[in-house]
Structure 1
Amino acid sequence: MRLALDWGKARIGVAACDPGGVLAYPVGTINAKDAPLRAVLALVAEYEPVEVVFGWPRNLAGKEGPAVEALRGVVAELEAAIAPLRVVLVDERMSSAEAARKLAAAGKDSRARRGIIDQMAAVTILEHALERRRPGGPPHGRQV
């Protein structure tokens, strides 16, 4: 079982998967302004994942985006708090756009999407990570 985080300035989307790594599903949204690390640690204690997948911002050219500097500290804190669990960085390019497309295809209007877009972005990040773990898939990501 794995947890995935789509860490934003306002909200953090959280997703999880089944123990076999087949199905990713939304867990919830954390307010990023309200002790988010404590909330993440509570989810880690509840779900007992084998690793935490962290969406890592890259621009369309594949280079690290401007949000990276702020997130380096977040990842370092998270890694220290959950050691010996791994924090794995996974490219989150287009995860929000992909999540919005999926929600629109499911008939959710923009108002309904607002409340769950971050969770669905975390699902997308986790799906990409799980796909990379399957036999013959590309490398999973990099460990912090």
Structure 2
Amino acid sequence: MKRILALGLDVGQKRLGIAGCDGTGLIATALTTIKRSSFQQDVAKLKEIIVERQVEILVIGLPYSMDGSIGFQAKQVQKFAQRISQALQLPVEYVDERLTSVEAEAQLKTQKRFSSFQKELIDAQAAAIILQQWLDERRQN
């Protein structure tokens, strides 16, 4: 069975939530959050994780509008994804990320791992939800 080496990203203006999965592709786990600075520094930090985890694909949450259209924020994410894909020489797949931050916050609250000052935890958990959706869709197909 082929190992699944994917990294999930929740792309925000201030932070990048990062999630990884086990090699079987069953479980996504929140890993970390990168505080965004320059594009070059974002790429360097991502590259460290990608090399360590032998990542072969990036799964990026696309923030569609509630009506399903691609708005300003989604276009910004797509631009970033294209640049990061070229810089890291990795393919990108998108997952609808509507309401993942709300879901992430709810999950963290039930696990008693959350305070409203810990936005980094929400971003990493949202990345895990994005990656888990992608893994689940792959298994179903």
> Which residue is 1:93 aligned to?
98
> Which residue is 2:9 aligned to?
5
Helix, strand or coil at the partner of 1:75: helix
Per-residue displacement from partner, 1:43-81 (whole Å, max 9, x unpaired)? 111111121101111111111132123223211211112
> Which residue is 2:18 aligned to?
14
Counterpart CA distance in 1 for 2:61 and 2:131 is 9
Would you say 1:130 and 2:132 are equivalent positions? no
Counterpart CA distance in 2 for 1:114 and 1:76 is 25
Counterpart CA distance in 1 for 2:71 and 2:46 is 23
- How far off is 1:108 after superposition? 3.2
CA contact (8 A) 1:2 1:52 kept: yes
CA contact (8 A) 2:62 2:78 kept: no
CA contact (8 A) 2:20 2:28 kept: yes
CA contact (8 A) 2:19 2:131 kept: yes
> Which residue is 1:53 aligned to?
59
Q: Which runs of 5+ in 2 are unaligned?
A: none
- How far off is 1:104 after superposition? 1.1
Per-residue displacement from partner, 1:106-142 (whole Å, max 9, x unpaired)? 1234346433110000000001101100134xxxxxx
> Which residue is 2:28 aligned to?
24
> What is the CA RMSD across the aligned residues, in angstroms?
1.6
Deviates more, 1:68-77 or 1:118-127: 68-77
Deviates more, 1:37-46 or 1:116-125: 37-46
Helix, strand or coil at the partner of 2:33: strand
CA contact (8 A) 1:100 1:113 kept: no
TM-score calculated relative to the size of structure 2:
0.87
- How far off is 1:19 after superposition? 0.7
- Matched length: 135
Counterpart CA distance in 2 for 1:77 and 1:15 is 19
Greater than 3 Å deviation, 4+ residue runs? none
CA contact (8 A) 2:10 2:127 kept: yes
TM-score calculated relative to the size of structure 1:
0.85
The 5 A counterparts of 1:52-131 are: 52-83=58-89, 85-111=90-116, 113-131=118-136
Share of identical aligned residues, percent? 30
